[in-house]
């Protein structure tokens, strides 16, 4: 299911087998929250080198409905992406939409942000929804807390995450799906260890690190990753949820992480903040008005091959939809490439990260 192909320090290169094909790790997974990576066609994502797309079970449950997606071929048939999918269980939405939710040990009650209708979601429901969506990799239901948080809040979230993970393991029925457990615990090493130790006997095919990049500073995140490396089994994939800045990807790879997702590439692409081999730039800046050069001379994506910085700036300034499309395409290509090159360096034994 998961084969470790090479290591370089703590950095790892592996191969994860899924029902819709193998995934080479480390891997960056573009986010298509509602079964769509905004502004990009599936064939464009494939051309960027994307191997896995992420969708959110909470949002698809609300609209168009997980049973409708099931009846129209699951995510693969419904959204036209035949490669692997990963679905988040909805636990992060407990955190991000906390003003609209009530959390108990049984699950969550919430009102839809779409129409105000009342809903409840338990671990068993999260499994049913994800089984209907048909993703290759599915996530256990968990509770995430905003940092900084009180020790009591972190401990309570870990208690629920452990209990809900056990219920998810019991409720999950599809053998063609890989169910990952999620290790919570904020930046508290003891709570992270307690959560991991409780989840390991459940023998999940993979383990995620949740609850990071949610308010802690970067040094705390990296310290937590350093500690987590010794908690997670070496023969299972490790997934750092919601982290996607290029420097964070490389620092996490150096600490033994295999999988990543984040909306930041397309979100920044829509507002004109673009990643390049020389760092980030705001293409709306006036200094690019007469710049006939490519966005990133080192990049081979269609945006950099076909359009100048001056033209890209014009598109954003004029409100033309092609600007955010080209920016999102480039950023996605860049982030996928950062991780792909790291894999190549791990395999050759040349990966280095200060």
CA-to-CA distance for 322 and 353, rounded, in angstroms?
Answer: 36
Pick the catalytic residue: 88, 188, 248, 296?
88
Q: Report DSSP letters for 128-192, one per residue.
A: HHHHHHT-SEEE------PSS--HHHHHHHHHHHHHHHHHHHHH---TTSEEEEEE--TT-HHHH
Q: How many helices (H) and strands (E) does the chain have?
A: 14, 16
Tell how strand 53-56 and strand 85-88 pair up: parallel
Residue 88 appears among annotated catalytic residues: yes
The closest alpha carbon to 275, from 252, 301, 306, belongs to: 301
Residue 125 appears among annotated catalytic residues: no
Tell how strand 11-18 and strand 2-8 pair up: antiparallel
132 vs 17, 22, 70, 75, 185, CA distance in Å?
21, 22, 5, 9, 30
Query: The tokens 């799906």 sit on which residue?
Result: 177
The closest alpha carbon to 210, from 244, 188, 181, 233, belongs to: 181
* Element (DSSP H or E) covering residue 37: none
Residues 6+ apart with CB under 8 A from 51: 21, 23, 24, 27, 29, 83, 84
CA-to-CA distance for 26 and 200, rounded, in angstroms?
Answer: 22
Residues 6+ apart with CB under 8 A from 246: 275, 334, 335, 338
Residue 90 DSSP class: S
Pick the catalytic residue: 66, 251, 258, 261?
261
Sign of the C-alpha dihedral computed for residues 301, 328, 49 and 239 taken in this order: positive
- Phi and psi of 294, rounded to 5°? -70, 160
Active-site positions read: 88, 261
């Amino acid at each position: 299911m998961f084969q470790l192909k090479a290591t370089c320090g703590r950095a790892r290169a592996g191969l994860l087998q899924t029902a819709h094909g193998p995934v080479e790790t480390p891997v960056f997974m573009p986010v298509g929250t509602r079964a769509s990576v905004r502004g990009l066609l599936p064939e464009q994502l494939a051309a960027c080198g994307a191997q896995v797309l992420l969708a959110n079970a909470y949002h698809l449950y609300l609209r168009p409905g997980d049973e409708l997606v099931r009846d129209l071929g699951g995510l693969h048939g419904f959204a036209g992406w035949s490669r692997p999918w990963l679905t988040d269980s909805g636990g992060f939405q407990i955190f991000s939409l906390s003003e609209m939710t009530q959390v108990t040990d049984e699950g969550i009650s919430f009102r839809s942000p779409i129409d105000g209708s009342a809903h409840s979601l338990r671990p068993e429901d999260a499994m049913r929804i994800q089984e209907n969506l048909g993703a290759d990799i599915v996530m256990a239901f968990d509770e995430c807390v905003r940092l900084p948080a009180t020790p009591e809040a972190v401990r309570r979230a870990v208690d629920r995450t452990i209990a809900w993970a056990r219920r998810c393991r019991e409720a999950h029925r599809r053998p063609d799906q890989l169910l990952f457990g999620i290790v919570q615990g904020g930046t508290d090493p003891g709570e992270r260890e307690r959560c991991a130790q409780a989840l390991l006997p459940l023998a999940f095919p993979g383990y995620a690190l949740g609850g990071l990049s949610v308010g802690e500073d970067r040094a705390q995140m990296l310290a937590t990753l350093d500690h987590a490396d010794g908690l997670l089994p070496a023969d299972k994939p490790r997934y750092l949820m919601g982290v996607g800045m290029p420097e964070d990807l490389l620092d996490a790879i150096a600490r033994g992480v295999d999988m990543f997702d984040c909306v930041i590439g397309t979100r920044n692409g829509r507002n004109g903040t673009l990643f390049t081999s020389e760092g980030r730039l705001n293409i709306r800046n006036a200094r690019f008005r007469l710049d006939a050069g490519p966005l990133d001379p080192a990049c081979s994506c269609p945006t950099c091959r076909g359009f100048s910085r001056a033209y890209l700036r014009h598109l954003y300034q004029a409100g033309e939809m092609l600007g955010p499309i080209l920016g999102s395409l480039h950023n996605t290509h860049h982030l996928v490439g950062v991780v792909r090159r790291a894999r190549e360096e791990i395999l050759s034994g040349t990966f280095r990260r200060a």
